[in-house]
Amino acid sequence: MKLKIKITGPKVHDVGYRYFLMSMAMSNRIRMFEAHNTESDSNQEVLVFVDGEDKAVEAFCALAKTKRPARSESSNIAFEEFDGDIMKIGEYAQFCSTVQLNKAILVLLDMRDDLKEMKGDIKAVRKNTDMIPQISEDIKEMKTDIKEMKTDIKEMKTDIKEMKTDIKEMKEDLKGLRDDIQPGYGTSFRQVQSDVRAIKQQLGML
């Protein structure tokens, strides 16, 4: 019996569907098998071709109807007769290995590029690591400078406090001088007024 099977759905690619079907075909001793990913207008498709004894193909179809890969999302499966050539399942397995090898090569190339970038990053990190002793020394000097600044600020506070005390004492001294000057200043001013009046009397100005 030769059949063409079309499995459609939103997620039937890149979930291992073809390998899943090939494994079921091998379990049912189907000697002719191949599967290919295709696209429709709205869904992904897997086209499967099988050729084998009727009971084996029927058992395979029953499994294909009820089982699917864990991450797949299929919406329809259709069966129709097929009269074209179908690849031997061993040849198809070799074909799949070649496809996977090509994919692996691309992954390995990406890994190689990532490895080169990592080496560059490691080199940069090592360069920065060499600067750590100098950075530590700079931090140590900064701590010393901050400690000295704190000491200077403390001394400035003491000086300011002493200046405030001196200013207060100067104010007290000025107040005392003012008190000493004011009584004598009043007496002298009255004496001057008396002398001026006597002079005016002698000159006949009064």
pLDDT of residue 117: 82
Domain locations along the chain:
2-88, 137-184
Which tens digit of pLDDT belongs to each residue from 67-119?
Answer: 999 999 999 999 999 999 999 999 999 988 888 888 778 778 878 888 888 88
Which tens digit of pLDDT belongs to each residue from 147-178?
Answer: 888 887 888 787 777 777 777 777 676 676 66
pLDDT of residue 138: 79
- Which residues have C-beta within 8 Å of that of residue 31, sequence separation ≥ 6? 51, 52, 88, 89
Q: How many CB atoms lie within 10 A of CB 79?
A: 15
- The pair of three-digit structure tokens given for residue 66, joined into one six-digit string: 């009820």
The CATH architecture one would assign to domain 2-88 is 2-Layer Sandwich (3.30)
Please check the confidence at residue 47 and state whether its pLDDT lies above 60: yes
As a dihedral over the C-alpha atoms of residue 161, residue 162, residue 167, residue 170, rounded to 10 degrees, the angle is 150
- The pair of three-digit structure tokens given for residue 74, joined into one six-digit string: 């299929």
pLDDT of residue 149: 83
HEC readout, 62-114: HHHHHCCCCCCECCEEEEEECCCCCCEHHHHHHHHHHHHHHHHHHHHHHHHHH
129: pLDDT confidence band, cut at 50, 70 and 90? low
Mean pLDDT of all residues in 25-42: 91
- Which residues have C-beta within 8 Å of that of residue 39, sequence separation ≥ 6? 45
Rounded Cα gap, residues 140 and 144, in angstroms: 6
Which tens digit of pLDDT belongs to each residue from 177-202?
Answer: 666 555 555 556 667 677 767 776 76
